Structure 1
Amino acid sequence: MTTETPLARRLASPSEASTIKPILRKPTPLLGVKRRASDDDDVDSSFQLQSSPTKKRKTVVINENLNMVREISSKSLDEAKKEVRRALEGHARGADGDYDNLKELFAPPRPKSYDDDEESDEDEDEDRAEDLLAYVVALTSLAPLLGKKCSGLVKNVLKCNWLERDDKFARAYIELMAALALVQGSYLALVLGMMVDKFYPVRGQSAAVKGFPPVDAETRKERLHMGLRYMLEKFPDGGKIINDLIERKFPFEDESKTVHLEYIDHLLRLKKDRPELERNIMLTIMKRLVVLDLGMTLDLENDDDATTQAVLKQLNDPHGENGEDESDAESELSDDEDEEEAKRIRNLKSKVQTLDAILDLLFSIYTPVFENPDSPEAIETFHDLLSDFSEAILPSPNSRHTQYLLFKFALKSHQLTSLFTGALFSIASHPSTTLPLKQAAVAYLASFTARGAQVTSEQVQTITKTFLNYMDHYRAVHSGCRGPDVRKYGLYYAYFQGLLYIFCFRWRDLIDRDLVPASLDWDDAASFIGRDLPWMPWLKTRLQANIASKLNPLKCCSPVIVDEFARLSHHLRLIYIYPQIEKNKSIQLSQFFTSSYATGGALRDSGFESDPDKRQLEACFPFDPFQLPVAQRWLDLPNTYMQWKPFAILDREDDEDDDGETGEETETEENGSVQEDTATDDENNFE
């Protein structure tokens, strides 16, 4: 019996299609003809390849060292090699008939047309499934012939559905991939790229190949990572390629939560198999998490309040918890909401859910490590987090949630808190650090100190003293200052504003408790109002010196923070700054700027507003309230996070002053009067 090309199999009867057929047009001995195994055959009877119960068995031999398929009975493999060699050598001479047939054998199954005979197609698919393993093994032994001229065949081989077959095929296929990379260096990147592409979930197609039972998702993942392990063990340089691939192929921010989590799951499996890739993998995840965070924050800022409220309503809807990928079930919109608005809400909701899910996953990974926060493993992991923070989070000042990984774990012990604050001080003071990063580090220091409920009073005072030391030194160095200039003295203003922010949240911790009268109730802020308090040494005099200097920090810091500090420090009899605030209203910052900045030049780079009288620091502190509904479960916020608690008694007194006073201040800075004025903003703005 003779056979023709795979296309001719459509015409073969079921009995004729039950044996493996060669791909060449010229009649050749049948691949897989039953024969008696010789004594030289290395046979492992535990692996048998069967196409159906009625067909003859083909012996599959496994190389125990590599755990890969090595041959399919010596005679059958010899015939397959002859066919493949003839096709490749013919292609080299320009005769592509057999070569094209070989390419077709590996090409994805073509869509069936209406006229196709279903029974014949099923027979062909079954034969194709059985034949392909033989040719994979044959191609492996002839890989040196697969040069650049065979790129078309290689591309088809890379498209093969190898994860959806069986373990024997997967092992044989992996060894073919290794052989390709060995003989042609450029193929290594193609092979690894093909594998990384499979980190994405299967879309629009069944995870099954005719002739094989369906394969579940977990089995496909195990086979894929078996291949990655083997390739990276065999080719050490593959680690560099993988590092580039996983970053380049990471899902875009508009991809669904399902796609992101599937991709990250593969990265975590890869990290477990190849520990040397761990740092790059976790940094890649952190970088892309920040991108999601920034995108979500920007969208929330750009959308109106109605859109934001619609998103929050859907996120809090328990019936829509798992519907983020179903466009017809993502939202219930009122009749007057148009299609564009509905799409914007769905997209924003999807981004929030994706960010929330990834951050929740990272919390679940890191939390067990910090059960013993001072263990060597925890310390080493925290150093890794600090490294990722410095490279991915700190340069992104508008990130809102990713940094809470540091917040949570830095509060686990005194040692970790010191590591975090020490790293921030180091960044802020290092000569090679850029000004924006220094200012960001100071903002993180202030925000962490203010918001971290587990930051001790001693640590709060130490950080406050360090801020004051820097400001005093800066004033001494810049004694020739003409006046306030955010561009020239931006880091100084960042420290001063950070100190005001710390005071607003942690003023109790700046009081010497050993000298406090027993009549004061630490849980009742009102009991401190109007009392002369024993503040930490030199706090008052050093603040006064900075405020009265030509640097004039009250003019350059955020008015919201300045006003809240003014109100609190006045009622707590620390310092009275309203006269300076009033005086600053007549000062124009532009008169102290150089000409290029006075006309708005280069302001985009500094992040300040273009209006000459609004060139002030933004009230941007990284640990503002956490808003993701799922991941917040890890933060234990009531015990770890300092919420802003406005003084109700001060609000009432301020309202009374608004009704009865003209706003003209008559008291001096030194007399400590508790007379109220109107220079405050609403507490919600401060929050």
Structure 2
Amino acid sequence: MPLASSPVPSILKSSKTTSRTTAVPSIAGKKRTMIEMDFSSQPSSSSPPSDAGSRDGPPPLKRARVQFDATAEKGKQNEKQREKSVALIREEIRRAIQRHVSGTDSEGYDQIKEIFTIDPKKPHDDDSSEIPSPTTIKRHLTGLLSNISALDRNCSGLVNAVLSSEWLGRDESYVKLFVRFSGNLCAAHTGYLRSVLKMLVNYFGEVPKGTGRIPGYSNVSHEEIYERVHMALRYIMQLLPAGSGTLSPILSAQFPFDTDSARANVAYTRNLLKIIDYAPELRAEISALITERLVKIDVQIQIDMEEFEDEVGEDLLEDLSRPVDFSTVDDDDDDDSDVESIISDDDTTDVDTRRLKTVKDNICKIDSIIDQLFEFYSPPFNHGTADEKNSALDLLLAHFESTVLPTYRSRHTQFLVFHFSQFSPDLVERFAGTCTHIIFSKTQPAIVRQSAAAYLGSFIARGKHVPSRVVRDIFELLGDHINVLRATYEGSCRGPDLRRYGPFYATTQALLYIFCFRWRDLTTAAEENDDGIPILEDDDDFDMEDVTFPPIVKEILHRAIYSRFNPLKVCSPAIVTEFARIAHHLRFMYVYSLLESNKRLRMSTFRSITTLADPRFSIVEREIRAGNDGGDQLDAYFPFDPYQLPRSRRWLEGDYIEWRGIPGIDDRADDDSSDSAEEGDNDDDNNDDDPTATDEE
């Protein structure tokens, strides 16, 4: 019969007559037969061998081949599953989102979210297979980008998972894809803009430990992390120019706290200034934010240094002021403070150590931040046009009026405007005009007017590039102002009273301070030979016998000093004493009799607080007994006294007029100046060791 003569059954019935070419027609057939054999029951000992050349039973090698092929097949299936095509993943994501939004099924949605929530840095243990491969996560992000319009607020969980995922430590192609996703997400759904911006700004401070360290990828430095964040932020600002309105409050809210490290504050400030390059509309707001935080730290430093001065001595304070190198900002190791090496364990406690650490950290913060601001403002003043210089100074003056001027005891922040205002005579006059406008304004609070007088007096006295003509003009302008105040209030004045006549005393003290430093520019010779530059020659060029002053100079001070206001009673004793010495030696005015009369007023002892300023004009506090009609005494606060921060003071070299004292009395060798400063005495002895003739402690 035809059926019996068919060769197929005979081959399946008997393995003895089966040859290799007829039993296994193809490699695929062989594999299939081998896999079926592996998962079938064990053959009995009487079963015939499949190979006529081997009749002793199935060799072990054959079973090993079966096991190997099964594992390979399973691995290929897993690999195939992981490497789905972009088109397939795109469709899966679309369906998963659609089902999630409709509420029918969220399993696929949760699986996609899990891909981005798995920590790629977790140890490779038994669950390591759960970590998605770089190809998988990249293709899923591509699929999300293709379905960006569907990621509305119903998919906020998935979006937040993507934004919180590790992206900064991956390869450059993935980073660029993530940046595209973030930008398109904000453009398609503006509700996510704040979340995206906040996520990016969060990396501007101290980079969280472990960021940029993903197994299987090259380590990414902190500096490169900052660059990647700026790349993303720049892209979003280009897509959404109006996004700067959302970014500004986030920058303010994310600014490091006062208790955060110096490294965090310095890094955040540096990144804020970089934003201005691609978002210039935020220039004023960013610079104002930095100035505001800077002043806050500045005031705290001044308070802390005054508290420590009587406790730890100048040597330790000098160590605290050593510059800190932030060029290693990329290092992960903490570089907080090595104050412990400075402090002796024998005479300090844990509380003292913590306080000193705080002081040093604050010094590092303000020194490095101001250094960055000097560098930021320099280009327009060094290479810009007149309009660019005026525009930059406008910004500095705006911050000065709104933040620096109303703040009591700011010590360093104001040196930005001090330095850049001296780049030209026109800029000098602009700053001086700003201060005089505030001093003369009747709408300003008295305390602000007093502060403006202190700033103007210190600027004119200390500014090395302030022309002689400007010194005389400001001196006469302030003199006219106190004449107006004297004519207005002297009729009702019964004696010195700082609380009632604060602006008068502040302006008079500014004049006394200017006279002490710039009397050479107020002389008749300087007025007759005005060439527009300050008189900075050696005192040997002056013939003290021939020094004379224009009548207006003497008239201004004489009327103010001998008025009912009695300013020598209220002004700082340090300044009054120095003025009396100079005026007497130059035969300009004799006020010692008035000073002796003032001593008969009831008052207690003086307590001198030497600050970072010139010790000659240190802050002097006096305790007044109850019932003294004289009231409180005016602080000797002159905000442009010598600058001491170690790193940023390089910008102010050549900006100062140093204290030179009285010719013929306070002369001394230059090599004795440091020894004089270390003495720290406050007596009025006119010898070579008098500390009042030096600018540094």
TM exceeding 0.5: yes
1:488 corresponds to 2:488: no
1:623 corresponds to 2:661: no
Q: Structure 2 residue aligned with 1:125, among 121, 125, 131?
A: 131
**Superimposed CA distance per residue, residues 485-525 of structure 1 (whole angstroms, 9 cap, x where no aligned partner):** 222211111110000000111111110116999xx996237
Moved more, 307-316 or 384-393: 307-316
State the distance in 1 between where 2:441 and 2:337 align: 53
The number of residue pairs the alignment matches comes to 575
Tell me which residue corresponds to 2:672: none
Moved more, 508-517 or 382-391: 508-517
State the distance in 2 between where 1:328 and 1:387 align: 35
1:435 corresponds to 2:446: yes
State the distance in 2 between where 1:303 and 1:104 align: 55
State the distance in 2 between where 1:496 and 1:257 align: 40
Q: Structure 1 residue aligned with 2:315, among 309, 317, 323?
A: 309
State the distance in 2 between where 1:189 and 1:487 align: 49
State the AA in 2 paired with 1:77: R
- By how many angstroms is 1:471 displaced? 0.6
Correspondence 1:408-419 to 2 at 5 A = 408-419=419-430
Moved more, 620-629 or 357-366: 357-366
State the AA in 1 paired with 2:335: E
State the AA in 1 paired with 2:461: A
Q: Is the 8 A contact 2:572 2:634 kept in 1?
A: yes
Q: Structure 2 residue aligned with 1:543, among 550, 553, 557?
A: 557
State the distance in 1 between where 2:527 and 2:469 align: 15
Moved more, 558-567 or 441-450: 558-567
Tell me which residue corresponds to 1:41: none
Q: Structure 1 residue aligned with 2:335, among 326, 342, 358?
A: 326
Q: Is the 8 A contact 1:410 1:416 kept in 2?
A: yes
State the AA in 2 paired with 1:577: V
Q: Is the 8 A contact 1:125 1:211 kept in 2?
A: no
**Superimposed CA distance per residue, residues 228-260 of structure 1 (whole angstroms, 9 cap, x where no aligned partner):** 122223333321221111122112233333322
Q: What is the aligned-residue RMSD (CA, Å)?
A: 3.6
Q: Is the 8 A contact 2:337 2:360 kept in 1?
A: no
SS of 2:551's equivalent in the other structure is coil
Tell me which residue corresponds to 1:205: 210
Q: Structure 2 residue aligned with 1:348, among 352, 359, 370?
A: 359
Tell me which residue corresponds to 1:169: 174
Correspondence 1:414-493 to 2 at 5 A = 414-483=425-494, 484-493=496-505
Q: Is the 8 A contact 1:528 1:572 kept in 2?
A: no
State the AA in 1 paired with 2:655: T
Tell me which residue corresponds to 2:414: 403
State the AA in 1 paired with 2:660: K
State the distance in 1 between where 2:166 and 2:526 align: 74
Tell me which residue corresponds to 1:664: none
Q: Structure 1 residue aligned with 2:523, among 473, 490, 511?
A: 511
**Superimposed CA distance per residue, residues 570-616 of structure 1 (whole angstroms, 9 cap, x where no aligned partner):** 22111111222233334579xxxxxxxxxxxxxxxxx9978655502
State the distance in 1 between where 2:274 and 2:527 align: 57
TM-score, structure 1 normalization:
0.75
Greater Rg, structure 1 or structure 2? 2
SS of 2:500's equivalent in the other structure is helix
State the AA in 2 paired with 1:293: D
**Superimposed CA distance per residue, residues 597-638 of structure 1 (whole angstroms, 9 cap, x where no aligned partner):** xxxxxxxxxx997865550211000011110112111212xx
1:107 corresponds to 2:117: yes
Q: Structure 2 residue aligned with 1:18, among 79, 84, 88?
A: 79
Correspondence 1:581-600 to 2 at 5 A = 581-587=595-601
State the distance in 2 between where 1:430 and 1:319 align: 45
State the distance in 2 between where 1:610 and 1:175 align: 69
Distance 1:316 1:433, change over 3 A: same
Tell me which residue corresponds to 1:255: 260
Q: Structure 2 residue aligned with 1:561, among 572, 575, 579?
A: 575
Q: Structure 1 residue aligned with 2:291, among 278, 282, 286?
A: 286
State the distance in 2 between where 1:318 and 1:103 align: 44
1:82 corresponds to 2:87: no
State the distance in 1 between where 2:410 and 2:624 align: 23
State the AA in 1 paired with 2:266: L
State the distance in 2 between where 1:188 and 1:331 align: 46
Distance 1:304 1:587, change over 3 A: closer
State the distance in 2 between where 1:433 and 1:625 align: 28
1:646 corresponds to 2:661: yes
Q: Structure 1 residue aligned with 2:591, among 577, 585, 592?
A: 577
State the distance in 1 between where 2:94 and 2:464 align: 71
Correspondence 1:24-63 to 2 at 5 A = 31-32=84-85
Q: Is the 8 A contact 1:193 1:245 kept in 2?
A: yes
SS of 1:538's equivalent in the other structure is helix
Identity across matched positions, percent: 32
State the AA in 1 paired with 2:520: R
**Superimposed CA distance per residue, residues 502-561 of structure 1 (whole angstroms, 9 cap, x where no aligned partner):** 0111111110116999xx9962379665x4632023222232222222222222211221
State the distance in 2 between where 1:181 and 1:488 align: 58
State the distance in 2 between where 1:514 and 1:266 align: 48
State the distance in 2 between where 1:328 and 1:425 align: 43
State the AA in 2 paired with 1:106: F
Q: Is the 8 A contact 1:521 1:527 kept in 2?
A: no
Distance 1:374 1:424, change over 3 A: farther
**Superimposed CA distance per residue, residues 250-296 of structure 1 (whole angstroms, 9 cap, x where no aligned partner):** 12233333322322232222110111112212222222222222222
State the distance in 2 between where 1:515 and 1:549 align: 28
Tell me which residue corresponds to 1:597: none
- By how many angstroms is 1:452 displaced? 1.0
Q: Is the 8 A contact 1:320 1:330 kept in 2?
A: no
State the distance in 2 between where 1:318 and 1:251 align: 19
State the distance in 2 between where 1:684 and 1:15 align: 86
Distance 1:495 1:315, change over 3 A: closer
State the distance in 2 between where 1:108 and 1:533 align: 83
State the distance in 2 between where 1:111 and 1:220 align: 17
Q: Is the 8 A contact 2:256 2:265 kept in 1?
A: yes
- By how many angstroms is 1:361 displaced? 2.1
TM-score, structure 2 normalization:
0.74
Distance 1:224 1:561, change over 3 A: same
State the distance in 1 between where 2:536 and 2:243 align: 64
Tell me which residue corresponds to 1:658: none
Tell me which residue corresponds to 2:161: 156
> 5+ unaligned residues in a row in structure 1: which ranges?
1-11, 22-29, 33-71, 590-606, 653-676
Tell me which residue corresponds to 2:511: 499
Q: Is the 8 A contact 2:521 2:527 kept in 1?
A: no
Q: Is the 8 A contact 1:493 1:557 kept in 2?
A: yes
Q: Is the 8 A contact 1:608 1:617 kept in 2?
A: no
- By how many angstroms is 1:382 displaced? 1.8
State the distance in 2 between where 1:325 and 1:197 align: 19
Q: Is the 8 A contact 2:323 2:646 kept in 1?
A: no
Distance 1:108 1:293, change over 3 A: farther
State the AA in 1 paired with 2:458: S
Tell me which residue corresponds to 1:671: none
Distance 1:418 1:506, change over 3 A: same
